[in-house]
Amino acid sequence: MSRKKATAPFDAAEWIAAHPVFTVADFAEAHGRGRKRSHVSALSLLRYHLGKNGLRQVHRGRYTTTTDPYVLASHLAPDAAVAYLSAFAVHDLVDDEGLVTWTSRQRTPKRFSDRPSGATFIPAWIPEALQRRADDGFGVQTLLRDGQPVRVTTMERTFVDVLDRPRLGPELPTLWRFWLEHGRTLDHDAMVRHTLRLDSAITALRVGFFLSTHPEFRPTTRHVEALQRFRPATPVPWDRSDRDPAAALEPRRKRGEPTYSYDQPWNLLLPRFLVERRAESR
């Protein structure tokens, strides 16, 4: 008669060390696997370990031992990913400013702060066009930070995302500097594909302008044609918060310069900074 193989005792400290962020349900499942253990006993054991080796509760039943805010942010939901300006920080393009933006398709909590990681976590909604699509993980990659996994949007997706929602990205001069330094090495197919997935005319125009204004290369005809399908019949301002394109062309001058200048290929009204960059690229 064969004997049932003995199950190794559950080592809670070892399991916690191997899981930098987890839920009560995760812990209870590991604790009860192969054994008749109740959820209550798992929760009791978890509470015993609170405060040991940095274990703390962050929010909504999530526990962590990490002090890396990006590792924590990318585990706040099953599909969570660090995004926008914070993604540039993970890619080492900007310094950490203590504000971490992350996205998820799930209903996300309000912003919260975590003192040990020194960060405030800000959820950003997924654009509606992406919500309508099945989640195929496009434009999200997993990187390691000190051996811990971080889900983060790729450089290509991040560039497009901050052009789609500029208030979640760096200032325009900073973004332009990133573009000059990294634009040549990016996958332009991936950038255009993500732009089309967002289904936003103003985003397509902004991405098209960036692609066509880099001083070291020009976009392929295929890319230009794909994005120029969104070109409007009348000029639109780069910043859509300006609701009156006609007024933007009027001489509201600062030191003798108009607020906007017209860019014919994309039918955009460009702010002065981009007008100067366009002239430099020619």
Sheet holding 62-64, edge to edge: 21-23, 62-64, 56-59
pLDDT at 208: 95
Average pLDDT over residues 5-28: 82
Helix axes 155-164, 201-213, angle to 10 degrees: 120
pLDDT at 31: 79
pLDDT at 274: 87
Q: C-alpha dihedral over 69, 75, 76, 78, to 10 degrees?
A: 160
Q: How many of the other CB atoms lie within 10 Å of CB of 167?
A: 8
- Taking the C-alpha atoms of residue 153 and residue 141, their distance in angstroms, rounded to an integer, is 6
Question: Where do we find the tokens 């397509």?
Answer: 204
Average pLDDT over residues 134-159: 93
Q: Tell me: the pLDDT tens digits for 36-91?
A: 556 678 888 888 888 888 899 987 778 999 999 999 999 999 899 999 999 999 99
Q: What are the sequence ranges of the domains in the chain?
A: 10-65, 67-153, 159-281
Secondary structure (DSSP) of 210-236: HHHH-TT----HHHHHHHHTT--SS-E
The region that residue 62 occupies, defined by phi over 0 for left and psi between -120 and 50 for alpha, beta otherwise, is beta
Q: Tell me: the pLDDT tens digits for 204-247?
A: 999 999 999 888 888 899 999 999 999 999 999 998 754 444 44
